[in-house]
Chain A
């Protein structure tokens, strides 16, 4: 066996791991007795293994237990345990330690419990009730709005705060807009809300399409409003079709 072959095949490691055939073992032994480099390699690997056998038992035990288990342990050995502990710990371990203390964990859990309970006993039932109500047939007040003309008095609408109201909308079927926007403005011409609807204009009436727009009362205050209806062409151009003014009053 020559030196290059011994190095390339990691023969020193194979020798110590008892992976060589008897012939190769003898050939390597004959080689390392005369090759100082391979002899050094072998000795270093063997020394590593020997030292590892001494060191490893101390690495595998809990540092606090290791420092108190033997009467022969000196203070010099404590830095070893500390070094091991310090190297193993990371910032996440430190954070986890804080979170796992009862003084921190209990208020957090209590808060979470309150939030979960509120959601389960208040929020969700209210939402379910609202959804259920919305699915039920109900009467809604109907109000006719007239075009907002100069000098004309706006239509008065009297509703309950808890109730939405319906406004009839007449759309021109022949115009064939891709969609319509409905916008509500307050007395200061500030837009309160806007909604877009793609309307399939197919009604029995040959020249007009009649719809009912449901206006939610929630969030509105008593006062003057204007409802604007715009058509949006295929090219995206917005065309004002109608403006209807009304005075909103609440009975409750």
Chain B
């Protein structure tokens, strides 16, 4: 569940405006997947579980877009039942260690590369404009991110551990 949770977040975050909407779609997706698994007993092709989850998510997303365009949500005095996003102690330590590793990676970069990443991901400026300013092309940015990811991946795998298994 946690494995697919993260993948669903990566898929839904750029598509949906609010974290609440992301959470709604995610929960609905899991509800339908689990319902299908309970009804049928098992998947006909277990190796395609990931594809099945993705396709269910696509359907839920489509329904969400349709219902969002039809009506505006009614404001309620009730507090929404938001998922508990607080981290436990282990998550905090893992997160800190990953941040330390990212800091090391960033400090080893030339200033221009740091400025490029900052402008794109922190300041969220237009990518083409930033690349033009720093006299680089999009391929450079892609390769920069790719290399940083490769260096960071070792630490990430160390922290994620069992999360790799389905």
Contact = CB atoms under 8 A, between A and B. Distances in A.
A42 B10 contact: yes
Contacts of A35: 50
Contacts of A58: 103
Contacts of B98: 47, 51
Interface string A37-53: 00111111111110111
A190 to B, nearest CB: 64
Interface in A88-139: none
A48 B102 CA distance: 7
A59 B145 contact: no
A75 to B, nearest CB: 15
Q: Chain A CB within 10 Å — which of B3, B49, B145, B166 has the most?
A: B145
A80 B103 contact: yes
Nearest to A46: B10
Contacts of B152: 44, 47-48
Q: Is the interface of B mostly helix, strand, loop or mixed?
A: helix
A68 B146 CA distance: 35
B51 A33 contact: yes
A64 interface: no
A10 B146 contact: yes
Contacts of A16: 145
Interface residues of A, number: 41
A84 B120 CA distance: 22
B141 A17 contact: yes
A16 B121 CA distance: 10
Contacts of A13: 142, 145-146, 149
A46 B10 CA distance: 8
Given A13-B142, A34-B48, A80-B103, A53 B10 contact: no
Contacts of A53: 121-122
Interface in B106-122: 106-107, 114, 117-118, 120-122
Most-contacted residue by chain B among A35, A40, A57, A80 (CB, 10 A) = A40
Interface string B22-47: 00000000000000000000000001
Max chain B Cβ within 10 angstroms of own Cβ: one of A17, A35, A41, A48: A48
B11 interface: yes
B7 A40 contact: no
Contacts of B48: 34
Interface in B131-166: 138, 141-143, 145-146, 148-149, 152-153, 156-157, 160, 164, 166
Contacts of B101: 51
A54 B99 contact: yes
B103 A44 contact: no
A36 B166 contact: yes
B156 A47 contact: yes
Interface in B65-117: 95, 98-99, 101-103, 105-107, 114, 117
Given A34-B50, A34-B51, A43 B6 contact: yes
Contacts of A19: 138, 142
Interface string A9-37: 01011101111000000100110111110
B53 interface: yes
Nearest to B55: A30
A30 B55 CA distance: 8
21 contacts: A12-B149, A18-B14, A19-B142, A32-B7, A33-B51, A33-B53, A34-B47, A34-B48, A34-B51, A42-B7, A44-B152, A44-B153, A44-B156, A45-B145, A46-B10, A49-B121, A51-B95, A56-B106, A56-B121, A60-B118, A87-B107
